[in-house]
Structure 1
Amino acid sequence: MGQGVGRPERRSKSLRLDGYQTIMTAEEEEEEEAAECAEDVAEKHSQKLKAICGQADLKNEAVGLYNIGLSCCLNSLLQVFFMNRNFTAILRRIKVPFDAVEQKQSVPYQMLLLLEAMQRGKHKSVHPTGLAKCLSEHRVRLFVLYDASQLFLILWNLIKSQITNSHLAESLADLYTIRLQEYLVCQKCLLETKKNSNMLMLPLPMFSHDSHRVRTLEDSLHCFFAPEHLTGDNMCHCKRCDKKTVCLQGMKVTCLPQTLTLHLKRFCSKHGNDTQKIGHYLSFPQNLDFRQILTREQYQPDFPEEGSGLYDLFAVVAHSGSARCGHYCAYIWSLMEHKWYCFNDSSVCQVSWDDVKCTYGHAGLRWSETAYLLVYRKKESAAAF
């Protein structure tokens, strides 16, 4: 759905106590020397690779990715990851797997190699073949129509699960995780039940609760966070009343991440399993202020700081075509050059904000290009790098 032609640390050398000696055969000595030599080579390669990738965001020229089999969705998401310096700062600090088989199966390592190829090569575009083969080992195959929101979650979870350093894995989680608190209030006895939850993206509706079209991102956020009365068949069991009662259900934000991903739910199922695309107009701003969009009850950060709710638009993953056959590309703001670029597989070109606004949508155009994923970056994080 939503896509078409265009989802062990290196073992440290053991310490030997003074006066303690071991007797080894010549064969064992050779094996140990060979192992130490291999470890040294791997360590040097790891340091060299990190040094190279540490310069990744210093190269001004944007590099494309070839479409190698309905991979426009994958290519667009990879560009959004790579252009985010908060993400590459984590990626270039990963521990390189020592074993060759592990290297081929490590998604973070293969992403690091691809980033190196993009930054060191002299070509305008590179083939993400190694990463694609690695992803196929994890059942993410080519020539499959992926939904960008689903593939983003698959990629992110693979990356996090394969980062062996717990501190880096936690940093990745902090970078993307939206922390919420859900609540349920019985309207008869006013018993309130709370539950904390985490999300990697907010799935925002294209229609309001009364089935009217949502025209702006701000209104879509209002709809998502609006409290809802659960009545009739949707009533919940109240422990105090010991029966099903009318309840008020809602949620509030307790922590917003540095990189905020918003999913515009433009694909919906109608008439059974038939999936259709919603192409109507929905505008989104270059800047967001959650203190202005949400109420004080809806936005209650655990650690409120000045400017903590301010965001700048960083990337737009746009979809053209229908739910059955289409194409993805990514509009991304260059943090180094302060310019918008369109990454359309191997084609990369500079664009204007007016070009990005064309992804607002147009219901009258069957092949209309519409924004599907919006990525915002917290203002202070942009200044920190």
Structure 2
Amino acid sequence: RMGVPVEPTEEEEEAEEERFYEAHCEELLAVLRSCGPAKLQERGEGGVGLMNQGATCYMNSLLQSLFYTPEFRLAVYGFEYDPDLHGEASRCIPLQLQKLFAELQISVAGAASTKDLTTACGFTGRDAMQQHDVQELCRVLFDALERSSSLLADAIRGLYAGKSTSYIKCREEINGKVYQSARTEKYMDLQVPIQDCSSLEEALRKLVEPEVMEGDNQWLCEELGEKVDALKGLTIETLPKILCIQLLRFVFDVATMRRKKLSEVVALPLILDLAFLSDSGSKPSLYQLAAVCLHSGTAHGGHYHAFAWDPCSGAWRDANDTRVQVLSAKQCSALFGADDSAEPQAPQALHSADAYFLLYRQVSETEVPRVQDAAIPQCLRDQLLSENQRLSRLQRAYDLHRKLLEVKVSHPLAAQRALQRYAAAQLE
């Protein structure tokens, strides 16, 4: 009958698929050669992963952790690139970070490349093959962003900067006065010793516990002109909204004269009251665990991945290079459950021998801002949406590529047996 659509036959569908594949084959193979299959896989439920350039897992874990800080992501999206002010686009770190964050937010790809960002940071191919420290990278990245933009500088200081005072003071009054030397400065992270500590709170208390300087280690007080017994320590004056903590797992072993990694299992509570660090008195100062960068391996090498919490959805993710997985309620319960030695009503905590770099978020009644796609600069958003259309076509071509791929298997003895058969035939 007229007007009734005719369903294509199976042969016609196969022919159309082959034509589509042939039309995109050359472009598909070029992407496979440059990026590998990760970019051509579809975006997973957990979001977009990050490709490992060889030994850049430490960078991937940090970037995913920072991405799930909405205030920081909004500040990065607010950066406005000016070639006269910021130089070449390929060398502009905040611009390349902005592009990467936008890809993580709206790309349909399974994973994004960090090569443009590492190029902007001045990395060489050799640097990408050498693992660096995630805490050092965080400091270098923040410093580069602060120098590039006053907007980013204000945002980073407002989110991550606190104040601390290092002091040395007389243990007792001398002539009715406590002599002391003190210096107050900004900090972007706390470096916390963990040796012989079973929990983060215990380690933080040890951080601010004063060291007694006596005997041969007395303090030379210049004002008095003599050595006296003293206390040397650190006071936390203010805590930031996002507190970065480095657990000092890598130490120098004097006995072996080598660097080693401490394997202490440290309990990291989901909710941590840091009132004991500041002068808040009896008023609680609650912080929520927001991200954990974990290092498995030795002091000489290993692998990083991250657990990152989305404060808007409340979901936890395991970000492991190209693979990003949303953790189920059962997985979260197992991850943050109490260990065997804990009390039955112990608070939820991550017990880990690999946790290395932590982000704790201040608990506040203020609503966490949601990062809408409209926050991405218009020209960048349009560029990525156009790229998504291209990627969707290539992803379809990649599915066909795997379906149409012809695999030839050669037996190691096949050539020898063929020669034997040929020789036997000649002798007949």
Distance 2:167 2:353 in 1: 37
1:98 aligns with 2:86: no
Are the structure 2 counterparts of residues 92 and 143 from structure 1 closer, same or farther at C-alpha, using a change threshold of 3 Å? same
Aligned partner of 1:269 in structure 2 is: 252
Instruction: Encode CA deviations 1:293-345: one digit per residue, 9 max, x unaligned.
Output: x2xxx5126xx9976x2110000000111111200000001223211100000
SS at match of 1:335: coil
Aligned partner of 1:66 in structure 2 is: 51
Distance 1:305 1:75 in 2: 39
1:286 aligns with 2:286: no
Q: Which structure is larger by alpha-carbon Rg, 1 or 2?
A: 2
Task: Give the residue type in structure 1 aligned to 2:332.
Answer: W
Aligned partner of 1:335 in structure 2 is: 311
Aligned partner of 1:242 in structure 2 is: 225
SS at match of 2:83: coil
- Structure 1 unaligned segments of length 5 or more: list them: 1-58, 208-212, 361-367
Distance 1:149 1:61 in 2: 25
1:130 aligns with 2:138: no
Deviation of the 1:233 alpha carbon: 4.2
SS at match of 2:289: strand
SS at match of 1:300: coil
TM-score for both structures, normalised by structure 2: 0.66
Are the structure 2 counterparts of residues 156 and 281 from structure 1 closer, same or farther at C-alpha, using a change threshold of 3 Å? same
Aligned partner of 1:150 in structure 2 is: 136
Task: Give the residue type in structure 2 aligned to 1:311.
Answer: Y
Deviation of the 1:241 alpha carbon: 2.1
Deviation of the 1:248 alpha carbon: 1.0
Distance 2:109 2:291 in 1: 24
Match of 1:176 among 153, 160, 167: 160
Distance 1:88 1:140 in 2: 29
Q: 4+ residue stretches of structure 1 with deviation over 6 A?
A: none
Task: Give the residue type in structure 1 aligned to 2:279.
Answer: Q
Indicate conservation of the 8 Å contact 2:307/2:317, yes or no.
yes
Distance 1:355 1:156 in 2: 34
Indicate conservation of the 8 Å contact 2:266/2:353, yes or no.
no
Distance 2:233 2:197 in 1: 20
Distance 1:324 1:358 in 2: 31
Task: Give the residue type in structure 2 aligned to 1:64.
Answer: G
Instruction: Encode CA deviations 1:252-299: one digit per residue, 9 max, x unaligned.
Output: 2221111101111111111465111111211110011112xx2xxx51
Deviation of the 1:177 alpha carbon: 1.1
1:85 aligns with 2:70: yes
Instruction: Encode CA deviations 1:3-33: one digit per residue, 9 max, x unaligned.
Output: xxxxxxxxxxxxxxxxxxxxxxxxxxxxxxx
Q: Among the aligned pairs, what percent are the same residue?
A: 25
TM-score for both structures, normalised by structure 1: 0.73
Deviation of the 1:154 alpha carbon: 1.6
Distance 1:233 1:72 in 2: 45
SS at match of 1:377: strand
Are the structure 2 counterparts of residues 267 and 285 from structure 1 closer, same or farther at C-alpha, using a change threshold of 3 Å? same
Instruction: Encode CA deviations 1:160-181: one digit per residue, 9 max, x unaligned.
Output: 1222x2x441221121112112
Distance 2:180 2:138 in 1: 34
Task: Give the residue type in structure 1 aligned to 2:60.
Answer: N
Instruction: Encode CA deviations 1:80-121: one digit per residue, 9 max, x unaligned.
Output: 111111111211111213259532111111100111222232
Deviation of the 1:135 alpha carbon: 1.5
Aligned partner of 1:159 in structure 2 is: 145
Aligned length: 305
CA RMSD, aligned part only?
Answer: 2.8
Aligned partner of 1:46 in structure 2 is: none
Distance 1:346 1:67 in 2: 8
Task: Give the residue type in structure 1 aligned to 2:207.
Answer: F
Aligned partner of 2:278 in structure 1 is: 299
Indicate conservation of the 8 Å contact 1:311/1:376, yes or no.
yes
Distance 1:134 1:358 in 2: 41
Distance 2:304 2:80 in 1: 32
Deviation of the 1:382 alpha carbon: 6.5
SS at match of 1:132: helix
Are the structure 2 counterparts of residues 140 and 206 from structure 1 closer, same or farther at C-alpha, using a change threshold of 3 Å? farther
Deviation of the 1:77 alpha carbon: 0.6
Greater helix proportion: 2
Matches within 5 A, 1:337-352: 337-351=313-327, 352=331
1:223 aligns with 2:199: no
Task: Give the residue type in structure 1 aligned to 2:68.
Answer: M
Indicate conservation of the 8 Å contact 1:318/1:359, yes or no.
no
1:370 aligns with 2:346: no
Distance 1:359 1:78 in 2: 29
SS at match of 1:220: helix
Distance 1:162 1:112 in 2: 13
- Structure 2 unaligned segments of length 5 or more: list them: 1-43, 340-351, 370-428
Are the structure 2 counterparts of residues 381 and 204 from structure 1 closer, same or farther at C-alpha, using a change threshold of 3 Å? farther
1:254 aligns with 2:237: yes
Aligned partner of 2:301 in structure 1 is: 325
Instruction: Encode CA deviations 1:220-250: one digit per residue, 9 max, x unaligned.
Output: 0110011111124432221332112111122
Are the structure 2 counterparts of residues 310 and 139 from structure 1 closer, same or farther at C-alpha, using a change threshold of 3 Å? farther
Distance 1:335 1:310 in 2: 15
Indicate conservation of the 8 Å contact 1:204/1:265, yes or no.
yes
Indicate conservation of the 8 Å contact 2:45/2:325, yes or no.
no
